[in-house]
Amino acid sequence: MLELVRKSQTNRVFQLTDRTLRQLANAGGYRLLRKEDADSIISYESVFKAFEDFQSTAFQEAQDNVRNLFSMIVDFKANAQIHGTFIGAETTEENINTPMLFSPDKVLLNRYFNELLLYLRVTKGHRAQMERIQIKATGLIAFYKNKYHLE
């Protein structure tokens, strides 16, 4: 659980550098490509845009909910220990000597753990989408390398 709590505290947004694709679209470059070539690029963009939407809505919302609830229920000293502030070493569940949760509110605690579970599921979905993008991008590169005999 400690690792999931730690990971829920930060977010590294995955971003596509799409300057070349935007230039291609803005300059009307798609019309110069064969239909299957343009369709393959548009298909990749579609997968990535769906990922961006997921990342900026469901993923971000789940992470925000976990963070907000965490700050309401966690003991400050335990939080500092989780992030190594007081002990300066790698923290494990075994060497945190302060109870992490201090709230007696069972409804709030239950909500936190439900949100944490949702965050775990959303994170797995996020990873699966990133893997689909990688497969799509790799396939697109292979398609053009093969089609145009590129090295």
Segment holding 100, helix H or strand E? none
Q: Residue 49 pLDDT more than 70?
A: yes
Residue position matching structure tokens 């959303």: 122
How many other β-carbons are positioned within 10 Å of the β-carbon of residue 43?
A: 13
Which of 78, 57, 68 has the alpha carbon at shortest distance from 2? 78
pLDDT over 70 (residue 83): no
H or E element that contains 141: helix 106-148
| Helix or strand (DSSP H, E) at 66 | helix 60-73
Question: Which residues lie closer than 8 Å to 89 by C-beta, 6 or more apart?
Answer: 95
Structure tokens given for 41: 């690029």
Is residue 12 scored above 60 in pLDDT?
Answer: yes
For residue 60, what pLDDT band results from cuts at 50, 70 and 90? very high
Q: What's the one-letter identity of residue 31?
A: R
30, 38 Cβ separation under 8 angstroms: yes
- Alpha carbons within 13 angstroms on the beta-carbon side of residue 134 total 7
Per-domain residue ranges of the chain: 34-148
Percent above pLDDT 70 for the chain: 87
